[in-house]
Structure 1
Amino acid sequence: MHLLLTRPDSGSERDALHIGLEAAGHRVTSTPLLTVKFKDVMPPLDGVQGLIVTSRNGLRAVAAGGIPEAAFGLPLFAVGPGTGAFARELGFRHVIEGPGTGRELAGVIRGVAAPQTGALVHLAAERLAFDLKNALAADGFDVVTHVVYATEAASSLPPKTVQDFRAGAFDGVVLMSPRTARVYAHLITEAGLNAAASRLTHFCLSDAVAQELQALGSVNAPVARLPHSQEMLALIAREASDFS
């Protein structure tokens, strides 16, 4: 299949999902709909019992500013396997992975950490998909939300992408976050591509992602069984069998 991948640009690091899709034999056109801008460095870690990371971009941001040696020995709660693997690559030695969402990660933290041991620092985006601070406050946890990056939405689709939509070049679109899906739906409508989009399969990381496509009307939007990249690859492999 020819797939439109909408993830933010990962800079010098090749996107693992892009690599996986190409390895599976798909043609991939990358059109980032969000631009990531790093904002800050790691905060002071005195009295901190652990770190929370809900996106690889949080790790990229602090890596760009330099990660202090003390951070590598702290427990790091990663939202899912992909973020956990990236944390280990950077040198974090005690990584605890969640199943893939912030809500589920809160449950993991409740089961492993103790409120009295110290604060937890969430290396967060400017916009939060799930508010871990409030979710864990009722259990007595002190979560410090430290914004290390922001995302800016694209104002339009690239002309070549619009041309490819109109030519029917794509078979599917890969959407990995609710905000990306919301931006996608808006830009498709602005470009008058609703009819073209209705013919495509929109591969969604979660139900929350699929719900953001409602503005496009009736579109085919299968959802991964679990919200992480490996399950997205499995979902696309299942659907791709219909194209063979």
Structure 2
Amino acid sequence: MRLLVTRPEPDAGREADALIALGHDPVRAPLLEIEFLSDVPLPLDDAQGVVITSRNTIRALANHPDVDQVLELPVFAVGEATAWAARQLGFREVTIGPGTGAGLPPLIRREVHRGKGPLVHIGAEKVAFDLKGALEEDGFELRRIVLYRSHPVDTLTQEVVSELKSGAISGVLLMSPRTARTFTRLAQAEGLVPEAKGLVCYCLSKAIAEAVAPLGLPVRVPTYAREEDLLALLNSGASSS
């Protein structure tokens, strides 16, 4: 199956390799570009742990002058892939979340004592879920540190547009609500619907499926927000949405 890979590099390349191994034909078209920020301080005083919701945060931390201080703290990772990257960087105490930011508060409420100090959420300028608001409602203190920004691309290449309109591309993989919103905007601008009605959107979570819903395309969502479960849908055709 010919599939559009929309996540930013270098994850687009890694996902494309996984698709090739499964016998698929990936077309890389990253819809977000990542800008890492330099000289951002890490206010870790009194922190009892950090929260990381993307592998791009791990990449940003790898080049940060204060990374050794961060690695001394326990980390809550949004999902298995981010947890693996955190261990590779050098975090020793890693708690694995369910795969989405919205799934982290229940885990943190069970594992973290409110009175032992703040948590530090290190990540992007724009986040899909308001983790700070959700936790502060329960009396937790959460500091946010922005180490990178993501910028939506302005256009799809004409080659990709032509393949989508002709039906040569059978599905698009969408891994974040912002990517899904970007794809929706660009698809509408190019008039891909109704020409691409046969296109299936493989969405990592229900929030992502909601973001692409305006296109009216078929949607597939795995039961769990894990990349391996999403890839499994490509052959099963199953959906939990």
* TM-score bucket (shorter structure): over 0.9
**2:221 corresponds to which residue?**
223
8 Å CA contact 2:32–2:179 kept in 1: the answer is yes
**1:200 corresponds to which residue?**
199
**1:48 corresponds to which residue?**
47
**1:178 corresponds to which residue?**
177
**1:18 corresponds to which residue?**
16
Pairwise CA RMSD of aligned residues?
1.7
8 Å CA contact 2:203–2:220 kept in 1: the answer is yes
**2:186 corresponds to which residue?**
187
Deviation at 1:80, TM superposition (A): 0.6
Show the 5 A alignment for 1:129-140: 129-140=128-139
**1:4 corresponds to which residue?**
4
**1:128 corresponds to which residue?**
127
Show the 5 A alignment for 1:46-195: 46-195=45-194
- Residue 17 of structure 1: SS of its match in structure 2? helix
Paired AA for residue 19 in structure 2: L
8 Å CA contact 2:167–2:196 kept in 1: the answer is no
- Residue 223 of structure 2: SS of its match in structure 1? coil
Q: How many residues align?
A: 237
Show the 5 A alignment for 1:23-42: 23-40=21-38, 41=40
Any stretches of 5+ residues in structure 1 without a counterpart? none
In 2, the alpha carbon distance for the partners of 1:237 and 1:42 equals 45
* CA shift digits 1:137-192 (9 cap, x unpaired): 13321100111111111111012211222332211110111111111011011111
8 Å CA contact 1:188–1:197 kept in 2: the answer is no
* CA shift digits 1:182-225 (9 cap, x unpaired): 110110111111123211111011111111222213x1101111
In 2, the alpha carbon distance for the partners of 1:15 and 1:29 equals 10
- Residue 184 of structure 1: SS of its match in structure 2? helix
Task: Could you list the structure 1 runs, at least 4 aligned residues long, displaced by more than 6 angstroms after superposition.
Answer: none
- Sequence identity percentage: 41
Query: Normalising to structure 1: TM-score of the pair?
Result: 0.91
* CA shift digits 1:216-243 (9 cap, x unpaired): 13x1101111112111111123129xxx
In 2, the alpha carbon distance for the partners of 1:68 and 1:215 equals 41
Any stretches of 5+ residues in structure 2 without a counterpart? none
In 1, the alpha carbon distance for the partners of 2:120 and 2:16 equals 30
Paired AA for residue 65 in structure 1: H
- Residue 195 of structure 1: SS of its match in structure 2? coil
